[in-house]
Each structure stands twice: as C-alpha cells, then as structure tokens.
A and B are shown apart, each in its own frame.
Chain A
Amino acid sequence: MGSPYETLPSKSFWRTAVAEKRPRQIEQLWDPKFDFLPIHKISTMGSCFAQHFSSALLARNYRWFDAESAPHVFAPETARKYNYGVFSARTGNIYTTKALKQWIFWALGLDSPPDEIWVKDGRCYDPFRPAIEPGGFATAQEMFDSRLACLAAIRRMLKQADRFVFTLGLTEGWINRAGGFNYAVCPGTAAGEFDPDLHVFHNFGFAEILTDLTAAIDAIRAESPHIRFLLTVSPVPLVATASDKHVLTATSYSKSVLRAVAGEHADAREDVDYFPSYEIITAPAFKGRFYEANLRSVRPAGVNFVMKTFFSSLHQKFGASQPHGGKKSGRLKQADRPVPGTRDEMEENGVVCEEQMLEAFAR
C-alpha cells in the first residue's frame, strides 16, 4: 500500500500550492461549509477588521443586517459620526470572546451588565463601548438608555439573522477584579480612571477563549438554531501590548491563539466555519504586500483581495448567486472595485478603533 500523500490534491503541498504560484494565483484557500446568499441577513461583529465585511457586503448588494439603524431621515454623515451602521448593533468593536459573551449574555438576559460609568470632562462614557458616542453622553441615564437600545438591537439581530460573522481581535484585555467583566479598552485610555487595585491585565489563553466563544455561540444557537457562524481572525497587529513582551512576539502569540481557537471551534461544529482572511494578509507568500507603511493597517488592495477570495470561493462551491432584488449577478466585477471601509475612509468617516487610542501612549 502506497503513502496516503500520493493521492492528495496539489493544494496540500507547499511547493505546488504556494511556492510555485504567483501570490494572486494562490487559490482554494477556503472550502465553505455553507453558502452566503444575497437574501440572507448577515450580521457582523468583532474587531475593527470586521467592518470591512459589512462594507463589502453592502457594496455587492448583499443584505448586511443593521439591527440598530439610524433614523432614515437623518443624513448618513450624522449616522456615521455617531457610529451607526458600523456593526450590526451599536456595540463598537468587540475584541475578545469574553466581550462577545458578555454582550450576548446581557442581550439574552442571561447576565446583567454592571452599572459602572466612566466620566470625563463632565460627560459619561460606556466602559464597554467608550467611543460609541462622540464626546460622551450628557448623563448616565442617557448612556444606560442607549445601551438598553443596543441590547434590544442585539436580540433583534439574533432573532432575524441567517449568518453571524465574528472577527476575533485580541487575547489581551483588562478585567474588573471585583466584577470579573472585560472592558473594551483599559480604563484611563478613552475615559475613566485606571485603578491598579481594581483593574487587572489579563492575557486570555486558548482554553478561556474557546470556552467563552463556545458559550456565546451556544447561547445564540439556543435562541436561533438556524444561524450559521463564520469566524475570522483579524490580521491587524496589536497597537500595544501590556504583557511585558515585545509587541511583535505578543502579536504572534495573540493571533496564534485566536487562530487556533477559531480553527478548533470550526472543525468541531457543522454550523461554524472559518474564513482565512488572516492567512491571506499575513502569510509569507503574500510578502507583506497588503500592509501599509506602518506594517499594521491593511491596504485597500488587501481588503479587496480578501473579499474577492470570499465571494469567489462561494461562487466556486455553490455557483453564482442571484443578487438581492433580482439583479443580474455581476458580483465578481463589482469585487474588483475598491471596497469602502478601508483605512482612509475609516479615518475620514471618523470610525474609531478603540485599540488605536493606545498609540497615543507610544514614546
């Protein structure tokens, strides 16, 4: 009997699949478990990179699900300024699986959010989405009312969505020692006051991250058994690390653990898939071409290539999908256009990446 490697396809071998290919010819990176149809309501949450998914879906007339949309009579610029239309609910970036679990559990009434508020210059900030309201909320009550609306939107999202895309961003986080909850950013960064007795740094490990992710997804599935999940890992390196390690090695650890969790979870479940946007951007085969000069932000060409791979993989597996509204499927041509939601547009539109605030502390 010969070696089992004899019958493997060419994609299984580095030489034929990677080394001998020009970067943009590298293919078959993703074998989707399930389709994404234009009629599906697709919700997105996660780290900054997740915003590219929503933008790309909208650009291709897919039904990106905005469960907490701004009033339609208001100008789009106003909505964007106040961070409507960024994620499927107005949560701001969700960097860790612990934070995801918190939001899902609060929304489903499985746990209650703490009543902690951050105050800065007389304005109130939500510790779990400190950048959501430009300049902060006028009062604590206003902040809590807004969060209640967000939780209601999450419930709406979970009930109605067909697909849930979550981008894992960080392993590092800051925990409230007494309450055990995970802040969006370290207190004292966007607002609030850092208290070393109360606020503790924690670098989540594989088991913890997997446990929290599993708990969040199980809670969602209990509410909406029909939802299918897509996990991705953000290719964007850490702005800063509080781990006492070099930020490059800290980034490697963080992304490796997140990648391992995403892969483990996707392999174990029929209704969970993993999409390799992380590999597309970071793999040596692509020679770092998709990063800006700061070696951190992803260039528009990188986002384009990621989304092109996403849609072409679906097309190859399931065939061409009719666009929502019955328009002809010219999708792949649209995929060649620059995708909104790239770094420049994010900055121009004032989309704030809370982690980005840490850069202010670099000397």
Chain B
Amino acid sequence: MTGAPVRVCIIGNSHIAALKLAIRHGFFRDDRLDVVFWGVTGTTGNGFRSIRYENGRLVTTETAFVRMVSEGKYETINPDDFNALIFHGSTVRYTKLLDSLRRTGGDVRQYSRAFLRDGIAGWLGTSHAATLIHRIRSSYTGRILVSPMPLMSEDSKRFDGRTVEAGELTLLNDILSEFYAAGGAEFLPQPNETIVQNKYTSTDFSIGSVPLGGDVRHRKAEYYHMNARYGEAVLRKVSERLQS
C-alpha cells in the first residue's frame, strides 16, 4: 500500500499491552501504519466483556481506562474511522484449545477435520469477541484481523510430557482461518518465531511482560502475558498482512 498510513485500531484485553509497549519502546516502527490501542483488562470491571457494539460504535463502561489506553483519544470507537480493526488476545484462547484437544494424549490430527471444524465453531461462535466481530462486520467495510491469545510461556511447563507436532498447529490454524473467514475476518496465527516445541511461547518473548495499565513488570512466574519483543513480532505480521 502506498500513500497515507493505514489507520489501524487494536482492540482487546490485557494482551494488547505487549503490542503497545513494542511501539512505545521503539521495538516496532512502521510509518505505513497509524496505530491506536483500545482495550479493557480482565481486572477492570467486566473486562473485555464490557465492550459492546451499539449504534455503530464500540463502547464500554470503562471509559476512563480506554481513554488512558488510547493515549487520551478515544472513549468510544467508530470502526469506520479505521482501515482495519485488529482483535488481539481476546479471541482464541489457544492454550486452552490445545490442552483440551490433547487431554487424552493423542495428536490433534486423530480428530476428523469436520469434527474439529464443528467443535471449534461451536466453541468460538458464542464467544464475546466473535459476537462483536459479527455485529461489526454487518456494517463495516474495512478489514478485520483476529490475533489469538499467545501460547503460555515455556516456563509454565503446561504441556510437559506431551509432544506436539507442527502439523497439529497447522491444522488448527487452518480451521481457525476457515471459521473467521466465514465471518468476514482474517485469522492471524501467532508468529512462528515466537513458538517453541509447537506448544509454548519462548521465554525470549514472555519474560518482562507488563500490564496494560502501567509499566510495573509482571512477576517472574507470569506465564500468560508477553513482552514488547512479542508485540513487535505480532505487529510485524499485522503490517505484512495488511500490505497483502
């Protein structure tokens, strides 16, 4: 794309902090993108669930918080003010999905594609994020990208004892892409370089994560949120996708 920067709104929960930090600390810089952050953490009121789509705008009861996150600019969001909306972190709980599929130990590919498709559609279809996306899509003509909650840090040892093959993630990502494509959105898998053993986010991308509301670092044993390097990796993928 040439000309004016692509106006992008990154919407989500606490996980968008990694992306915001990437920009704030200079890990990510791309003049082709004009990025706004807008989100509510789980510790704030009803968290992401407080976000609703009403009268053509994204609104929330946590106006002070979203104003802070958006650097004082937005209490509500009109999707039409942006070329693209990126839902990050509040969409697919990837670790939960993988854990559930691997609970009996077998490869994800033991399940038929049809079963995975129906099961994932049933699981995600009623999620708050999917409902929001569906409602926005009915009137919004820009692009909607969906970026999942990252896999837990390898320090969590959540999947220890279970070997996960690359093909399993490929299958899941294919199905997730199909699901979101059917709803007019695009699935953006977690960047490959951030994943180790096909089941964790590398500690290179998880240690030193910071909450959305401030600069105090998470405790060392915080395995869910990622750092600015992770944010840079995701933003780079967002930029590449939006250029395509």
Interface residues of A (CB under 8 A from B): 67-75, 77-79, 81-82, 133-135, 137-138, 142, 145-146, 148-149, 152-153, 156
Known contacts A71-B103, A74-B100; 20 additional CB pairs below 8 A are: A68-B104, A69-B103, A69-B104, A71-B97, A71-B111, A71-B119, A73-B100, A74-B118, A74-B122, A74-B123, A78-B119, A78-B122, A81-B118, A82-B112, A82-B115, A134-B114, A142-B112, A148-B110, A149-B110, A152-B106
A75 touches B103 (CB 8 A): no
Q: Return chain A residues, CB-CB under 8 Å to B123.
A: 73-75
Q: Which residue of B lies closest to A137 (CB)?
A: B112
CB contact between B119 and one of A68, A75, A137, A153 (< 8 Å): that residue:
A75
Q: Return chain A residues, CB-CB under 8 Å to B217.
A: none
Separation of A79 and B110 alpha carbons in the complex (Å): 14
Q: Which residue of B lies closest to A68 (CB)?
A: B104
Interface residues of B (CB under 8 A from A): 96-97, 100-101, 103-107, 109-115, 118-120, 122-123
Separation of A149 and B105 alpha carbons in the complex (Å): 10
7 example contacts (A-B, Cβ-Cβ < 8 A) are as follows: A69-B104, A73-B100, A78-B115, A78-B118, A142-B112, A145-B109, A149-B110
Chain A proximity of B175: nearest CB distance (Å): 12
Q: Return chain A residues, CB-CB under 8 Å to B115.
A: 78, 82, 133
Tally of contacts, chain A with chain B, CB under 8 A: 63
Separation of A34 and B101 alpha carbons in the complex (Å): 36
Q: Return chain B residues, CB-CB under 8 Å to A138.
A: 112-114
Q: A68-B104, A69-B104 are in contact. Are A133 and B122 (CB under 8 A)?
A: no
A156 touches B112 (CB 8 A): no
The B interface, classified by DSSP as helix, strand, loop or mixed, is helix
Q: Return chain A residues, CB-CB under 8 Å to B106.
A: 149, 152
Separation of A78 and B96 alpha carbons in the complex (Å): 18
A73 touches B96 (CB 8 A): yes
Q: Which residue of A lies closest to B110 (CB)?
A: A149
Separation of A64 and B100 alpha carbons in the complex (Å): 20
Chain B proximity of A53: nearest CB distance (Å): 22
Separation of A81 and B121 alpha carbons in the complex (Å): 14
Most buried by A among B97, B103, B119: B119
Chain B proximity of A55: nearest CB distance (Å): 21
Q: Which residue of B lies closest to A83 (CB)?
A: B115
Q: Return chain B residues, CB-CB under 8 Å to A134.
A: 114
Q: Which residue of B lies closest to A150 (CB)?
A: B110
Q: Return chain A residues, CB-CB under 8 Å to B96.
A: 73
Q: Return chain A residues, CB-CB under 8 Å to B107.
A: 145
Separation of A146 and B114 alpha carbons in the complex (Å): 12
Separation of A249 and B197 alpha carbons in the complex (Å): 61
Most buried by B among A68, A71, A73, A77: A71
Nearest first, the 8 A-B pairs at minimum CB distance are A149-B110, A74-B119, A71-B100, A75-B122, A73-B100, A82-B115, A73-B123, A71-B101
Q: A73-B97, A156-B104 are in contact. Are A135 and B122 (CB under 8 A)?
A: no
Separation of A249 and B107 alpha carbons in the complex (Å): 48
Chain B proximity of A218: nearest CB distance (Å): 27
Separation of A149 and B122 alpha carbons in the complex (Å): 23
Q: Which residue of B lies closest to A76 (CB)?
A: B122
Chain B proximity of A261: nearest CB distance (Å): 33
Separation of A293 and B120 alpha carbons in the complex (Å): 40
Separation of A70 and B105 alpha carbons in the complex (Å): 12
Q: Return chain A residues, CB-CB under 8 Å to B114.
A: 82, 133-135, 138
Q: Which residue of B lies closest to A74 (CB)?
A: B119
Chain B proximity of A341: nearest CB distance (Å): 21
Chain B proximity of A236: nearest CB distance (Å): 28
Chain A proximity of B176: nearest CB distance (Å): 13
Separation of A70 and B111 alpha carbons in the complex (Å): 9
Q: Return chain A residues, CB-CB under 8 Å to B103.
A: 69, 71-72
